[in-house]
Structure 1
Amino acid sequence: MKLRGMNERVQKLRQQSVEAPAHIYIERANLMTDAYMKYEGSVSIPELRALAFKHFMENKKLCINDGELIVGEKGDAPQSSPTFPELCCHTLEDMHIMNNRELIGFAVTEEDLELQKSKIIPYWEKRSVRNKIINSVSPEWRECYESGIFTEFMEQRGPGHTVASFEIYTKGFNDYKKEIEEEIKNLDFATDVNALKKREQLNSMSIACDAIIILGKRYSLLAKELAEKESDPIRKEELLQISKNCETVPANKPETYWQAIQMYWFIHLGVTTELNPWDAYSPGRLDQHLNPFYLEDCKNNILDEYKAKELLECLWVKFNNQPAPPKVGVTLKESSTYTDFVNINSGGITANGQDGVNDISYLILECMDEMKLLQPSSNVQISKKTPKNFLKKACEVSRKGWGQPAFYNTEAIIQELLNAGKTIEDARLGGTSGCVETGAFGSEAYI
């Protein structure tokens, strides 16, 4: 397989991603505050979180960039970073530090500052998880923290370091809703003392399904509206296909390679905007997930390797468009990064113990070599069954010295997971992500 060079579309999207200035996206904080003001105290906490998430997905500003084929941004444009005041509420000093920092800065407008001052801080300052934690620690701990002896991370985020399940390629969220409804029907309030809490949790899961479905349908309508105004017949057809893709996923399971990539991306946006999991929410064994769609589409003459790589490179751009949310306090002053530590595994072996390298594995190597972006990070799993051609290709990319891919020993990963009590099938489908934690993909968070 010899595919070289980004096409003009990808070059433009990559340039936009690299050159767009990172900025604070205050709309999420504003919409979440509105939702909490409306629902807090009238519903359970899980249902409150779900209703707030749904309110955000119903009302957030949408963005389809010129020429892109995979749609969806965390914020209002590339390089926009939402804030999460329910976890940690930025002070005005924090906002000025972000805006004025020479390296790894986030632009903050006067309107952002005014909204933070007049609405976000008054509502969240004492409600945030961070505030509750810091007010619960000993005076000695707080003195150490305030003097900068150490910094903290975990109270500023939810637990990340996990990987999407392969089920997202075989089910849509309408399917999940049916399963949830069946679970609710089967609750036994006569004998199960936890039935009420279970119903609250299941209700919240159903609402969250609605939220992500709403986002897809809104993007479908937007793409259709743009298609109606588009004068270029080629771009018009692309927008109509994007509209069809977003009408299908995430409500239903993906039917094509293009839809499978879009399905993952909607879920990535949902996970990383509902609550900040900074860092390392990843697609895992992307080559194994996508290859069946690729083979089927090629068989049906609706896809070739060139289009497949173009769509992958559009996904690479989407990953790079999403800077990690800025921290607060001392940690903001001392630690800064734009990367969200997405990590894509390629190669390894399959659940039944066969060589896991496939056509998409080679396309991913081509993609990372050409794109050379800050994220996503990529690694190759090398097993005793890995073809020499794949190992050689990975080495050719790595020797260029820009840091990708990393090389991991599949047999060592499997043994580590077996030692932790995983099944052999889960161990074979697992891998590494984040700061190189090993986990069973799709089955656990392994923070």
Structure 2
Amino acid sequence: MNDRIKKLRTQSRESIPYLSLERAFLLTEFYKNGAAHKFSAPIARAKAFKHLMENKKICINEGELIVGERGPEPKATPTYPEVCCHSLHDLDILNSREKISFKVSEDTRKKAKDTIIPFWKGRSIREKIFPQVDDEWIDAYEAGIFTEFMEQRAPGHTVGGKNIWNKGFLDFKKEIKESIEKLDFYNDPEAFNKREQLIAMKLAADTIVSFAERHALEAKRLATNELNPIRKKELEKISEICTYVPSRAPRTFWEALQHYWFIHLGVITEYNTWDSFNPGRLDQHLYPFYKKDIDDGNLTRDEAIELLQAFWVKFNNQLAPPKVGVTAEESNTYTDFCNINIGGLKEDGSDGVNEMSYMLLDVIEEMRILQPSSNVQISKKTPERFLKRSLEIVKTGFGQPSVFNTDAIIQELT
């Protein structure tokens, strides 16, 4: 890896994980003003998302090519008090854990005590669920037969499909508008609820675009003050890219990576996904952009590798939000479980391995960082070269990529 990636990788690995209340504070600020009560649940949630993304700090780290952080800086990890709120005891545990700790400053503790915890008492999803469950469930829980877990996050194991790579949010807004116009309020009893959901989707689309535009403005500001002509040009390019995507479908390899990253940040900032959102079959999605740039003479293989490695670092900067209660003591990890899927088969049943598949393996081998997780899909049609290359990396003991039998998966699903 080159010097730039070495620096970004080192920053990511050596940054001290800490709990950031930026998100919790902004969300509390929104709900405290009472505006949420004026709207349906989907629209209120969309407006809360808008408030978050328009007011959170914009972070562009030195030397970055792919920009955007969930927290105010790398490894600044948010909390989700609307789902479940950390107690002061939880914060003490997170701060003092021997392994996988999250530093909690006195200022953070004070804000949690004075503002976050009091407001969300009785309002969080977790606190609304527990009083409604059966006594038998409570007895089993208090006896330690199981620990609370799933109500702390939204593990839907969602994979980004090809639509997010082939369309921009202006396209999605057009589709939303058309869907609203087709609603039948006379005959469909769900028409009103559908409209509210669609309006919320439009608000979320606008929010993602404005979030990208904030990065464009910050990159432009940094470029104005940048003395290094090479970095100045990079920042100007970043500003240009963030102005174009994700409002429009990406045209280039660099745009495709940044386009996805804004979507990823939007999803994991809006809700605690913790292992439920992934870019999916990254080699299949990225290869057309890579091939076009190569064919047009706008990109070299080394430049593409550098962009992929910069992309890898971004995942490693986003730590899994820590849990609450007993699970804060017995279950801890920094991994947010985003999983990159490589190889396998195409939709028509032919082998899916391409040049990008091998490039991603090279990136996994060289980066050797905790996130993102990765796997290879192996079928009877997989080239022996790809299988051997995958196993060369597996045998180093790094733990990635994991190996899945595509044929068995297809058989299970059919």
Scaled by the length of structure 1, what TM-score is found? 0.90
Q: Following the alignment from structure 1 to structure 2, what is the Cα–Cα distance between the partners of residues 273 and 13?
A: 22
Does the 8 Å CA contact 1:146/1:330 hold for their aligned counterparts? Answer: no
Q: Which amino acid aligns with 1:14?
A: R
Does the 8 Å CA contact 1:36/1:48 hold for their aligned counterparts? Answer: no
CA deviations on 1:84-131 (whole Å, 9 max, x unpaired) are 000001111111111121211111111111111111111111000101
Match in the other structure for 2:313: 317
* Aligned positions of 1:365-384 closer than 5 A: 365-384=361-380
Structure 1 residue 98 corresponds to structure 2 residue 117 = no
Q: Following the alignment from structure 1 to structure 2, what is the Cα–Cα distance between the partners of residues 148 and 68?
A: 46
Match in the other structure for 2:298: 302
Shift of 1:145: 2.4
Scaled by the length of structure 2, what TM-score is found? 0.98
Q: Following the alignment from structure 1 to structure 2, what is the Cα–Cα distance between the partners of residues 174 and 367?
A: 32
Q: Following the alignment from structure 1 to structure 2, what is the Cα–Cα distance between the partners of residues 387 and 140?
A: 54
Q: Which amino acid aligns with 1:88?
A: C
Does the 8 Å CA contact 2:274/2:321 hold for their aligned counterparts? Answer: yes
Paired residue total: 413
Tell me the SS of whatever aligns to 2:94. helix
Structure 1 residue 416 corresponds to structure 2 residue 412 = yes
Q: Which amino acid aligns with 2:5?
A: V
Tell me the SS of whatever aligns to 1:345. strand
Q: Which amino acid aligns with 1:310?
A: E
Q: Which moved more, 1:285-294 or 1:34-43?
A: 34-43
- In structure 2, which of residues 240, 249, 256 is the aligned counterpart of residue 260 of structure 1? 256
Q: Which amino acid aligns with 1:331?
A: T
Does the 8 Å CA contact 1:148/1:330 hold for their aligned counterparts? Answer: no
Match in the other structure for 1:431: none
* Aligned positions of 1:20-99 closer than 5 A: 20-38=15-33, 39-99=35-95
CA deviations on 1:221-263 (whole Å, 9 max, x unpaired) are 1011101110111111111111111111111110100010111
- In structure 2, which of residues 3, 6, 12 is the aligned counterpart of residue 11 of structure 1? 6
Q: Following the alignment from structure 2 to structure 1, what is the Cα–Cα distance between the partners of residues 204 and 346?
A: 31
Does the 8 Å CA contact 2:154/2:276 hold for their aligned counterparts? Answer: no
Q: Following the alignment from structure 2 to structure 1, what is the Cα–Cα distance between the partners of residues 98 and 406?
A: 41
Structure 1 residue 238 corresponds to structure 2 residue 238 = no
Shift of 1:148: 3.1
Match in the other structure for 1:283: 279
Match in the other structure for 2:105: 109
Q: Following the alignment from structure 2 to structure 1, what is the Cα–Cα distance between the partners of residues 379 and 202?
A: 40
CA deviations on 1:172-203 (whole Å, 9 max, x unpaired) are 01110111111111222222211111111111
Does the 8 Å CA contact 2:18/2:103 hold for their aligned counterparts? Answer: yes
Tell me the SS of whatever aligns to 1:329. coil
Does the 8 Å CA contact 2:320/2:336 hold for their aligned counterparts? Answer: yes
Shift of 1:378: 1.0
Q: Following the alignment from structure 1 to structure 2, what is the Cα–Cα distance between the partners of residues 206 and 280?
A: 22
Q: Following the alignment from structure 1 to structure 2, what is the Cα–Cα distance between the partners of residues 342 and 53?
A: 22
The runs of 4+ residues in structure 1 deviating greater than 6 Å are none
- In structure 2, which of residues 150, 174, 180 is the aligned counterpart of residue 178 of structure 1? 174
Match in the other structure for 2:120: 124
Match in the other structure for 1:442: none
Match in the other structure for 2:342: 346
CA deviations on 1:276-326 (whole Å, 9 max, x unpaired) are 111241111000000000000011111111011111111111111111001
Match in the other structure for 1:167: 163
Does the 8 Å CA contact 2:155/2:276 hold for their aligned counterparts? Answer: no
Match in the other structure for 1:437: none
Does the 8 Å CA contact 2:23/2:56 hold for their aligned counterparts? Answer: yes
Q: Which amino acid aligns with 1:200?
A: E
Q: Following the alignment from structure 1 to structure 2, what is the Cα–Cα distance between the partners of residues 140 and 181?
A: 47
Structure 1 residue 209 corresponds to structure 2 residue 180 = no
Does the 8 Å CA contact 1:23/1:81 hold for their aligned counterparts? Answer: yes
Q: Following the alignment from structure 1 to structure 2, what is the Cα–Cα distance between the partners of residues 101 and 292?
A: 45
Identity level (%) = 56
Q: Following the alignment from structure 1 to structure 2, what is the Cα–Cα distance between the partners of residues 261 and 46?
A: 29
Q: Following the alignment from structure 2 to structure 1, what is the Cα–Cα distance between the partners of residues 107 and 199?
A: 36
Q: Following the alignment from structure 1 to structure 2, what is the Cα–Cα distance between the partners of residues 333 and 137?
A: 24
Q: Which amino acid aligns with 2:23?
A: R
- In structure 2, which of residues 393, 396, 402 is the aligned counterpart of residue 400 of structure 1? 396
Q: Which amino acid aligns with 1:28?
A: R
Q: Following the alignment from structure 2 to structure 1, what is the Cα–Cα distance between the partners of residues 136 and 165?
A: 50
Tell me the SS of whatever aligns to 2:286. helix
Q: Which amino acid aligns with 1:298?
A: I
Match in the other structure for 2:247: 251
Q: Following the alignment from structure 2 to structure 1, what is the Cα–Cα distance between the partners of residues 335 and 224?
A: 36
Shift of 1:142: 2.5
Shift of 1:160: 3.0
Q: Following the alignment from structure 2 to structure 1, what is the Cα–Cα distance between the partners of residues 163 and 263?
A: 12
Q: Following the alignment from structure 1 to structure 2, what is the Cα–Cα distance between the partners of residues 159 and 91?
A: 23
